[in-house]
Amino acid sequence: MLNVVVMVSGGGTNLQAIIDAVEAGTITNTRLAGVISNNKNAYALERAAKHGIPAACVSPKDFEDRGQFNQKLLETVDGFEPDLVVLAGFLVVIPPEMTAKYRNRMINIHPSLIPSFCGTGYYGLRVHEAALARGVKVAGATVHFVDEGTDTGPIILQKAVEARQGDTPKELQRRVMEQAEWKILPRAIDLIANGKVKVENGKTIIEEPTRSGQEASL
């Protein structure tokens, strides 16, 4: 049984997708051990409470310096004894100590087809604003392992989504969430929970064939 901790800063729509998939049996061999937010007002904390999942808030605002916050954050994560840490819209820089400790055991969902529109400064609506400004015809989402860089870890799954003429950033954001993020993040967790993902030479190897060419492992 894979113990999973989900870290989130806002509404928690990806968290809800994970919860729904676990309850529906789409994600197998998995237990949601806890939810952590840096925001006391995050609706994600309410989602966790509604489903009986232990939750905690660790906010940088409650500490004198970043070092103290980083230490408390890592202690809180460790306290849930996770096998896998899932960053589902967690808008705080992960401490280097945590990245090292959970190497190839921490994943992130990013709302673009990496390496496009990723890295420092690309998050939330900014990603979709940049994509539409560039005139892309295809957007999408990526699940990847977390390393020391920003959106640079080994890619696990990707799914493409059509960018339509006249899209607003919010419209594209919603379509990417519904058609890509909410599908590939639960699937990645299920693959990891069943020992189907391994990392070799900085790339992932998945023991399951891709589906209809829409999702790819690199």
CATH of residue 192: 3.40.50.170
DSSP state of 57: E
How confident is residue 68, by pLDDT bands cut at 50, 70 and 90?
very high
Q: Quick one: 6 and 97 in the same domain?
A: yes
The structural domain count of the chain equals 2
Co-location of 96 and 113 in the same domain: no
pTM: 0.91
Q: Which domain holds residue 211?
A: 108-117+125-143+157-218
pLDDT above 70 coverage of the chain, percent:
95
78 and 172 within one domain: no
Whether residue 110 lies in the annotated active site: yes
Structural domain includes residue 208: yes
Quick one: residue 166, left, alpha or beta (phi over 0 = left, psi -120 to 50 = alpha)? left
On whether residue 149 sits in a domain, the answer given is no
State the CB neighbour count (10 A cutoff) for residue 69: 19
Query: If pLDDT is split at 50, 70 and 90, which confidence band does 214 have?
Result: very low
Residues 113 and 215 in one domain: yes
Residues 6+ apart with CB under 8 A from 93: none
Active-site hit among 51, 110, 128, 144: 110
Q: How far apart are CA 35 and CA 96, in angstroms?
A: 20
